[in-house]
């Protein structure tokens, strides 16, 4: 899309995005602990610290990428932001309002339309018993949007927006491929005209060639509707492509948060460096490849995380201090936050 | 998913797949796919046909049966007559036509089996949904109740219950239903626990759907398959339990015929030696019916299994 076209297509909402760069979502020291219950009386005998300190903020129209290996709490972070889970501690501030402890009823009346989610597994994210038409019709009915005739038109145009045929609405999900289903999932997320979309590993279940299509579609939609994305992924190259800011999580903790260029050019945290060194890079003449940092050991259990810095058990640069003191998550350079004792 | 070009922008035509002329004609519903799969299973279809014949004959017993067991109490001239053109399954020790009694007995046995299954399925689904949806204490309470009930020998409990009340068909159905819901409850709870975390259910929640709508629109319809399969298979078991109880004299009471109490009256030495037809035909009916139900149930299970496409 050319810039001229952009301005013509964009809605008022999207216009606003260019002029002001306000923060739409702020997550402050978010924690989500799941109780482990045992016995007949279901007593709590321990907790799994799935998320134990996530901090970031996103500006309207931008994309934050959250990366980390599996089990690091990135999906839980996403689901807590959209309030599928109630946070244990911390704040989720959406457009200046704290939504972290809103009741489900209040969520429905105020927030549910605004924040939507795109899911990982295109085969589990669509009800196999419903046609595409009724999958997309449901949100209109729930929120009482549009007249009956408009709804049908909207359904067709939504399918076309995501690159499918409007006539597909009488079909069932099982007739479609993974990539197409993911498009349907995206169309469903767009029904309520949301402003913020949490994309939880939206491409990791797809073939590489289809991944590119879905990423491109998401970028086009972001431009067209002025969407803000929280893009959760374990794939550093995908995140590098789509995100403006990147947060790195390890064992429920946000380790580093920085604008994309900074993070990939100059990663500060040893964990980020290890992750980046694991990305395969084609060998080129004259270009030095990054030194490989291979982490020892396994991810510790989130029900019994290590003391001090959670990464100290696997950190190649661990010091005595790391075992005792939890490093603060601090801004080391402008916009570049890191939680590590190496930087004081 | 062939020939999808790399880096295709979203505005270009959609990926191939449903554009195939083959698929263009009819949008197959999931139910249709399941039925197609079921009808491909010959054993299950055969079981279904046999079952259909038995049920139809039971329903139309008054039209088919040469005798009405209510009318004939005794016909001493035809005691223990072997199968012939007049009595195709022979007669019993009271001279009554066994064929007629088998047909009327089918009414009772099938009625008890189906109604007890229905009752058990309803109780089980409600209990399982409650446990699976609310979780925590409610879940623990219901599941412990299930564990306790399941660890009693069923037949012993039934005998105990019936000993307290006087045996009747209605009571038998109630008892069988109230002792037959546990496995369904476990099943439904499991389905709920797994479906509750399914992404389309989460999506319904993020779209702002209310809980009861999510349960009835998204969870229960998808849990229906296993419930149907388990319930179908349980009918066979219930028919056997009914005949066992009737055989012990605690189920359906004579003169009302049921397959079980017919077997009971056939269990004496002279009858076993001289009139093989008396125990064989009711026994055969139980065997064929239960076998057919099991074939149908197995067929349904395979048809509902998404891995067996």
Write the burial class of residue B173 (CB in 10 Å: 0-12 exposed, 13-18 middle, 19+ buried).
Answer: buried
Name the pLDDT band for B12 (thresholds 50, 70, 90): very low
Note whether A188 contacts B207, CB cutoff 8 Å.
Answer: yes
What integer pLDDT is reported at residue A167 of this predicted model?
86
Note whether B200 contacts A124, CB cutoff 8 Å.
Answer: yes
Note whether A216 contacts B210, CB cutoff 8 Å.
Answer: no
Model pTM above 0.80: no
Q: What is the mean pLDDT of residues B233-260?
A: 84
Contacts of B147 in chain A (CB under 8 A): none
Note whether A129 contacts B205, CB cutoff 8 Å.
Answer: no
Beta strands at A330-333 and A336-338: parallel, antiparallel or unpaired: antiparallel
Note whether B200 contacts A126, CB cutoff 8 Å.
Answer: yes
Contacts of A126 in chain B (CB under 8 A): 200
CA B205, CA A127: separation in Å to the nearest integer?
Answer: 13
Write the burial class of residue A229 (CB in 10 Å: 0-12 exposed, 13-18 middle, 19+ buried).
Answer: buried
Residue A296 to chain B, least CA–CA distance (Å)? 33
Mutate to test the interface with A, among B2, B14, B137, B220 (most CBs of A within 10 A): B14
Mean pLDDT of residues grouped by 10 in chain A (344 residues)?
42 43 86 83 82 90 91 90 90 89 85 91 88 90 86 90 88 88 92 92 89 92 93 90 92 92 90 86 69 79 87 88 89 88 83
Helix, strand, coil percentages in chain A from 3-state DSSP, rounded to 5: 35, 25, 40
- Contact residues for A284 (Cβ-Cβ < 8 A; gap 6+): none
Note whether B27 contacts A171, CB cutoff 8 Å.
Answer: yes
Contacts of B6 in chain A (CB under 8 A): 209, 212-213
Contacts of B136 in chain A (CB under 8 A): 37, 42
Residue B26 to chain A, least CA–CA distance (Å)? 9
Sequence ranges of the domains in chain B: 102-304
Tell whether the model's pLDDT for residue B261 goes beyond 50.
yes
Mutate to test the interface with A, among B199, B219, B222, B228 (most CBs of A within 10 A): B199
- The CATH number of the structural domain formed by B102-304 is 1.10.3720.10
Alpha carbon B209 to chain centroid distance? 34
Q: Which residues of B19-48 are buried (b: 16+ CB within 10 A; e: fewer)?
A: eeeeeeeebeebeebbeebbeebeebeebb
Note whether A121 contacts B14, CB cutoff 8 Å.
Answer: no
Contacts of A140 in chain B (CB under 8 A): none
| Residue A134 burial (CB count, 10 A) | 16
Nearest in space to A26 (alpha carbons), one of A61, A56, A60, A63:
A56
Write the burial class of residue B3 (CB in 10 Å: 0-12 exposed, 13-18 middle, 19+ buried).
Answer: exposed
Closest CB to A42 among B6, B136, B207: B136
Tell whether the model's pLDDT for residue B196 goes beyond 80.
yes
Note whether A121 contacts B18, CB cutoff 8 Å.
Answer: no
Question: Can you tell me whether residue B115 is helix, strand or coil?
Answer: helix
What integer pLDDT is reported at residue A290 of this predicted model?
66
| Cα Rg, chain B, nearest whole Å | 25
Nearest in space to A221 (alpha carbons), one of A205, A236, A202, A234:
A202
Note whether B1 contacts A128, CB cutoff 8 Å.
Answer: no
Closest CB to A119 among B203, B208, B210: B203
Nearest in space to A256 (alpha carbons), one of A238, A274, A281, A278:
A274
In sequence order, which ranges of A20-85 are alpha helices (DSSP H)? 74-81
Name the pLDDT band for B307 (thresholds 50, 70, 90): low
Contacts of B7 in chain A (CB under 8 A): 212-213, 216
DSSP state, B215? I
The two tokens of residue B50 are 């046999």
DSSP state, B40? H
Residue of B nearest to A110 (CA): B208
Contacts of A143 in chain B (CB under 8 A): 208
Residue of B nearest to A82 (CA): B206
Residue of A nearest to B135 (CA): A42
Closest CB to B18 among A138, A168, A217: A168
Tell whether the model's pLDDT for residue B262 goes beyond 60.
yes
Name the pLDDT band for B83 (thresholds 50, 70, 90): confident
Chain B contact residues (CB < 8 Å to A): 1, 4-15, 17-19, 23, 27-30, 33, 136-137, 140, 144, 198-200, 202-210, 213, 217-218, 221-222
Q: Give the sheet arrangement for strand A63-67, strand by strand.
A: A115-118, A196-200, A228-233, A63-67, A245-250, A253-259, A336-338, A330-333
Task: Give the up-direction half-sphere exposure of residue B21: CA atoms within 13 A in the CB hemisphere.
Answer: 0
DSSP state, B218? I
The two tokens of residue A252 are 């429920």
What integer pLDDT is reported at residue B16 of this predicted model?
45
CA distances from B214 to B97, B188, B270 (A): 55, 16, 63
Write the burial class of residue B238 (CB in 10 Å: 0-12 exposed, 13-18 middle, 19+ buried).
Answer: buried
* Chain A / chain B CB contacts < 8 angstroms: 130
Residue of B nearest to A180 (CA): B15
Nearest in space to A183 (alpha carbons), one of A164, A209, A205, A156:
A164
Report the run of H or E that residue A142 belongs to, with start and end: helix A132-143
Do A220 and A10 meet the contact criterion of CB atoms below 8 Å apart? no
ipTM passes above 0.90: no
DSSP state, A143? H
Sign of CA dihedral B115, B121, B126, B127: positive
Residue of A nearest to B33 (CA): A174
Question: Can you tell me whether residue B203 is helix, strand or coil?
Answer: helix
Name the residue with tokens 């009930």.
B149
Tell whether the model's pLDDT for residue B14 goes beyond 50.
no
In degrees, rounded to 5, the angle at the alpha carbon of residue A267 between the alpha carbons of residues A240 and A252 is 80
Closest CB to A163 among B10, B28, B221: B10
Beta strand spans in chain A (E): 23-38, 43-59, 63-67, 89-94, 97-98, 115-118, 196-200, 228-233, 245-250, 253-259, 330-333, 336-338
Beta strands at A196-200 and A228-233: parallel, antiparallel or unpaired: parallel
CA A148, CA A154: separation in Å to the nearest integer?
Answer: 10
CA A265, CA A66: separation in Å to the nearest integer?
Answer: 17
């Amino acid at each position: 899309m050319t810039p001229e076209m952009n301005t013509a297509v964009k809605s008022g909402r999207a216009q606003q995005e260019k002029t002001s760069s306000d923060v739409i979502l702020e997550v402050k020291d978010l924690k989500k602990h799941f109780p482990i219950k045992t016995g007949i009386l279901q007593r709590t005998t321990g907790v799994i610290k799935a998320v134990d300190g996530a901090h970031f903020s996103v500006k309207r129209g931008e994309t934050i990428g959250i990366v980390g290996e599996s089990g690091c709490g990135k999906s839980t972070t996403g689901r807590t932001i959209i309030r599928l889970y109630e946070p244990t501690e911390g704040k989720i501030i959406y457009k200046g309002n704290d939504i972290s402890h809103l009741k489900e009823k209040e969520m429905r009346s105020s927030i549910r339309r605004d924040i939507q989610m795109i899911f990982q597994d295109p085969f589990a994210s669509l009800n196999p018993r419903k046609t595409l038409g009724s999958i997309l019709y449901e949100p209109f009915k729930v929120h009482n949007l549009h007249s009956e005739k408009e709804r049908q038109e909207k359904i067709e145009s939504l399918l076309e927006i995501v690159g499918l045929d409007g006539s597909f609405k009488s079909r069932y999900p099982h007739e479609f491929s993974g990539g197409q289903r993911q498009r349907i999932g995206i169309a469903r997320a767009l029904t309520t005209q949301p402003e913020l979309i949490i994309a939880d590993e939206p491409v990791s279940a797809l073939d590489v060639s289809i991944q590119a299509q879905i990423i491109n579609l998401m970028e086009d939609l972001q431009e067209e509707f002025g969407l803000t994305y929280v893009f959760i992924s374990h794939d550093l190259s995908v995140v590098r492509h789509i995100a403006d800011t990147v947060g790195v999580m390890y064992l429920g903790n946000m380790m580093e948060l920085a604008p994309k260029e900074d993070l990939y050019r100059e990663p500060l945290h040893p964990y980020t460096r290890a992750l980046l060194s694991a990305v395969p890079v084609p060998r080129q003449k004259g270009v030095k490849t990054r030194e490989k940092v291979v982490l020892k050991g396994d991810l510790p259990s989130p029900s019994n995380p290590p003391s001090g810095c959670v990464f100290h058990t696997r950190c190649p640069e661990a010091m005595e201090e790391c075992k005792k003191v939890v490093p603060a998550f601090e801004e080391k350079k402008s916009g570049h936050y890191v939680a590590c004792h190496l930087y004081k | 998913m062939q020939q999808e070009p790399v880096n295709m922008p979203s505005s270009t035509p959609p990926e191939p797949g449903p554009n195939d002329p083959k698929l263009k004609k009819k949008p197959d519903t999931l139910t249709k796919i399941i039925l197609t799969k079921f009808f491909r299973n010959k054993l299950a279809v055969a079981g279904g046909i046999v079952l259909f014949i038995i049920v139809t004959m039971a329903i139309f017993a008054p039209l088919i049966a040469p005798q009405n067991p209510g009318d004939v109490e005794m016909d001493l001239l035809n005691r223990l007559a072997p199968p012939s053109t007049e009595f195709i399954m022979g007669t019993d020790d009271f001279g009554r036509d066994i064929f007629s009694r088998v047909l009327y007995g089918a009414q009772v046995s099938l009625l008890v089996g189906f109604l007890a299954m229905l009752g058990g399925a309803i109780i089980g689904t409600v209990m399982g949904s409650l446990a699976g949806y609310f979780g925590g204490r409610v879940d623990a309470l219901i599941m412990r109740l299930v564990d306790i009930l399941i660890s009693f020998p069923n037949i012993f409990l039934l005998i105990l219950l019936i000993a307290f009340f006087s045996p009747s068909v209605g009571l038998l159905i109630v008892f069988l239903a109230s002792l037959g819901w546990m496995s369904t409850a476990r099943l439904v709870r499991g389905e709920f626990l797994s479906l509750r975390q399914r992404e389309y259910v989460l999506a319904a929640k993020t779209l702002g759907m209310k809980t009861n709508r999510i349960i009835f629109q998204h969870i229960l319809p998808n849990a229906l398959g296993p419930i149907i399969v388990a319930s179908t298979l349980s009918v066979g078991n219930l028919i056997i339990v009914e005949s066992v109880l009737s055989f012990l004299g605690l189920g359906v009471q004579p003169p009302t015929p049921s397959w079980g109490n017919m077997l009971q009256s056939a269990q004496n030495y002279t009858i076993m030696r001289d009139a093989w037809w008396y125990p064989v035909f009711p026994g055969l009916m139980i065997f064929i019916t239960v076998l057919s139900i099991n074939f149908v149930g197995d067929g349904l299970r395979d048809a509902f299994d998404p891995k067996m496409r």
